[in-house]
A and B are shown apart, each in its own frame.
Chain A
């Protein structure tokens, strides 16, 4: 009967095409919406990914790394360091700066400037493509992330090279290293890393310049435990690195219009997919009333017909889903490398749930219609 059910469905090419394309369309909208959303969301906590510190300490008002306009006192690092179980604690500066590659006639672009603790360079990124962390000790030295090397150049095909200089807030900086980082915040060319002492000279002076204090637990303690102790002892907001990423993502979802827009795209995909496939499938069942009645009359149990209908909907749904995933993968494959759109397995799995939901709704509509079919109709002309 399974084969019969599928033949009955696939015998009607136009219906199947409609059903499959409705679900394909919904899949594309939902996958690209969610991928884009997750991609943008990931940029919100990129700083906490790119800097390697187990514990992040911020002002009591700050619980994220998206934007921080509540710096700590320069002395707070000592208070953190004195908490029991803290192995090390170091200042971190995070702020915006403007970079212009004068030698290449570049225009000003925004970057995220990171100032690492001058003595220890604690928290520095680790994935070096060129140069090394110690090169930061040289005069005017900065380390730039790989995508910024391309984006800061007027011709992205000819990225900046080690040894080149640029102006940052009108002061000279020289590239001594290149690191791989995860995506920068939207609208930013990327990350520039230097020492804390140098960073605070690149930006306008303020009374408080310590954006975060980075810290690590002693080997016998967990980061979560020590973070809690830091919060208790200093009244500051201390997080594990995972904690601040999640908290940043939550902050971003609350404070940015992007998640709403993404939610709208996903919702529209779901709604349109449901309407198209629900409607098409219902029509399919309606137009097959007589054949379903014949199957009923010949002794097929209602439950079995319901299973056949569910199978028809699910198979059409999975084909549409597969087609949608295929199309969106192709699109993403030809998209520019720096696009936040990436095919991610969790997104594909997540979209499968509403797709199956759409099929279930369509099948349910069909099944409800089928259940009302009287086998006696077979004798009526």
Chain B
């Protein structure tokens, strides 16, 4: 099976002179279609930077970035932008819903970006809101929803245009434990459809149990892989033990 994405020898630094920060150093990263892949590591190790390069919102300094059969490092801004519109679903820590749009309108935005007719977009959006359990909240504005509901709207928005890759940066960090689990269950049950890869960047050990594979980053590159839920569970237990000992 071809990998869903493959990043080779990616370098990325920020700033210059005194403030020069290398965020990625010859980083390699790879994911398979249909898997739920976690990217973990200490703060500032470059997780968000790697995720941004993977989904085409950030340009690497060098390296090969092949995602869903596209060579992002050879594309211009216009092409990368259409690539994102077609293939990527986004889930953010801060949800990033547009406050002046209703839940349904927020969810329909990715379809409108792809020039789908408005009524079709609205129908599909309502359908997805129903899937995430918010059928009765279509006409609500984000401010009138709980944070958990807002993240569910964001999940519906990330999936409505059936992207092949969903990227999530700290999807549960703004949520309490119970809501976090609900959101992850939704991601596990709704986001995965056999072909779609889901990459979750997180700090949150409470949700490690949802990972199928996990990569640990340190100092700008991937240092360790756990290739099955069992390996992850073992590492998870370790982490918790370490924590208890501290």
Contacts and interface: CB of A to CB of B under 8 A. Distances in A.
Contact of A298 (B52, B78, B113, B169): B113
B146 to A, nearest CB: 19
B6 interface: no
A299 B109 CA distance: 10
B233 interface: no
A296 B118 CA distance: 19
Interface in B84-116: 84-86, 88, 90, 92-94, 96, 98-101, 105, 109-110, 112-114
A12 B100 CA distance: 7
A299 B57 CA distance: 9
B81 A4 contact: no
Contacts of B58: 374-376
| Interface range, B side | 20 to 34
Contacts of B88: 298-299
A271 interface: no
Contacts of B112: 1, 4
Given A3-B118, A378-B92, A298 B98 contact: no
B20 to A, nearest CB: 18
Contacts of A291: 96, 98-99
Interface string A366-381: 0000000011101111
Contact of B48 (A11, A12, A295, A379): A379
Contact of B100 (A11, A300, A301, A302): A11
Contacts of B67: none
A97 to B, nearest CB: 68
A8 B98 contact: yes
Interface residues of A, number: 26
A11 B101 contact: yes
A378 B113 contact: no
Nearest to B51: A379
A370 to B, nearest CB: 14
Contacts of B48: 379-380
Nearest to A380: B48
B92 A299 contact: no
Contacts of A374: 57-58
Contact of A296 (B81, B94, B100): B81
A381 B94 contact: yes
B223 interface: no
Interface string A1-37: 1011001101110000000000000000000000000
Contacts of A11: 99-101
A309 to B, nearest CB: 15
Contact of B81 (A7, A290, A294, A299): A299
A381 B51 CA distance: 15
A298 B105 contact: no
Interface in A256-273: none
B82 A295 contact: no
A365 interface: no
Given A379-B169, A381-B93, A4 B52 contact: no
A4 B105 contact: yes
Given A294-B96, A379-B57, A381-B94, A300 B81 contact: yes
A12 B92 CA distance: 24
Interface string A343-381: 000000000000000000000000000000011101111
A374 B58 CA distance: 8
